[in-house]
Each structure stands twice: as C-alpha cells, then as structure tokens.
Structure 1
C-alpha cells in the first residue's frame, strides 16, 4: 500500500499534545498540581490558608498547562523540518518505507515498539519518546485506512511479543 502526505499544522499540534499528556510523568505532574490547587481552594474557603497560597497553586497550574498545551508542541513543530516535508510511504508485510526529497528510510516492523491511534493520526512509536505520525487522511478511503490499521496492530503487536 502506498500513500503520500504532508502534515497539517493544527493536526500535528494536537497529536503532540496527545503525546505529551500520554506520558506518565506529565500526567502525574498534572494530577498533583490539580490536587494541590483543589486542596488550596478548599482550604482557602475554610480560611485555613492565605489567599497567596491559592494564588500560587493556581499560577503553577496555569503555567504548567500553558507550557504543555501551547509552548512545547509549538516549539517542537517549529524546530522540526519533518513537518514541512512531503512524504511517500509504502506499507507492506515486511517493513514501512518512507521517501522524501532528502532521502529514503525503511524500518522493519520489529523496529516499532507500539502503535497508538488518535483522531487524526496513527502514532508509530520506536521507543517511549520517539515516534512517527501517519495522517489518517492520507489514505484514499476508509477501506485502505482500515487495512493499514489492521496491519499496524498485527505487525507491531507481533514485533513487541
């Protein structure tokens, strides 16, 4: 199966947000900040703490969300040449091959550690931090998209076993 694609900025930013929020350390940090902010609000309501403490936790929460939701995805998008390239991808039983104006790269299925599907992309992970995005809208029809999904699930699950 062959597909060609380029990336849409808004969709990539959303995919990067999903990636960051799926990281256990980010998720734990967000949960802890939320718990402390809620606790500070309750304690402020019962006049057990000063308003400054609530303001501090609220500011931490807003800063964390700003960094994860806006700054981090946008900075990665701007720094990466990958998101500005045009791609031709070939998916077959043995490997995935990616071709751009700058070159060609092939990865056997065993190279991928996991596969995640989000609203706009298939995320093909090499390890916990590096991955490749395959846009769903690159497929000609839903049948091709389903065939690719099934192959990715089968091959990457088999590779991870």
Structure 2
C-alpha cells in the first residue's frame, strides 16, 4: 500500500492537541486545576476568599488552558519542519517506509510501541514522545483506510 500526503496546519494542530491531552500527566494536571478552579468558585460564593484571590485563580486557570490548547500545539507545529513537507509512505508486510525529497527511512512494525486513531490522523508511536502522523485523507477510499486499520491491528 502506498500513500502520498502533505500536512494541513489546522488538522496537525488538532492532532497535537489529542496527543498532549492523551498524556496521563497532563490529564491529571487538568483535572486537578479544574477541581481547584471549582473549589475557588465555591469558596468565593461562600465568602471564604476575596474577589482578588478568585480572579487570580481564574487567571491562572485561563493561562493554563490557553497554553495547553493553543500555545503548546502551535509552538510544536512551528518548530517541527516535518509538517512543512510532502511525504510518500509505503506499507508492506514486513515494514513501512517514509520517503521525502531528501531521503527515506524504513522501520519494522516492531519499532512501533502502539498507535492511536483520531478524527484526522493515525498516530504511530515509537515511544511516548516520538510519533508519526499519518493523515486519513491520504487514503484513496474507505476500503484502503480500513485495510490500513487492519494492518495496524495485526502488526502492532
């Protein structure tokens, strides 16, 4: 199976959001910060904290959420030159190859730790921080997309 693709900025940023939100550490931090924000709202409503303290907690919550949702994905997108190029990928029974105008690289499927499917991409993880994004819109039709899903299920 062969696919060719380049990346759409909006879709990549959304995929990076999925990647960051899927991290256990970040999920725990988001839950704790949201619980703290709710607690500060309740304490403010009960008159236990001052409006300044409530506004400070609210500001910190907004900064954290904006950082995770907008700043972090946009920064990663800008710094990674990978998303600016066109690629061709070849998938066979033994391995897969990523080709670019400056070269190509092959990996056996055993190099992949796991994969995740999101609305626009397949995330192929080598480890917790290294991954490839394979766009779903690179596949010709639904049958090719399903064949790729089956390949991933069987090989990873």
Q: What TM-score do the two structures reach when normalised by structure 2?
A: 0.98
Match in the other structure for 2:55: 55
2:96 counterpart residue number: 96
Cα contact 1:112–1:124 (8 A) shared by 2: yes
Runs of 4+ residues over 2 Å off in structure 1: none
**How far did 1:153 drift?**
1.5
Equivalenced residues, count: 156
Contact 1:33 1:57 in 2 (8 A): no
Instruction: Compute the RMSD of aligned alpha carbons.
Output: 0.7
Q: TM-score normalized by structure 1? A: 0.95
Q: Secondary structure at the match of 1:140?
A: coil
Q: SS at the partner of 2:55?
A: helix
Does residue 69 of the first structure (1) align with residue 69 of the second (2)? yes
What is the rounded CA distance, in whole Å, between the counterparts of 2:55 and 2:155 in structure 1? 50
Structure 1 unaligned regions, length at least 5: 157-161
Is it true that 1:82 corresponds to 2:90 in the alignment? Answer: no
Unmatched tracts of structure 2, length 5 or more: none
Shift of 1:53: 2.0
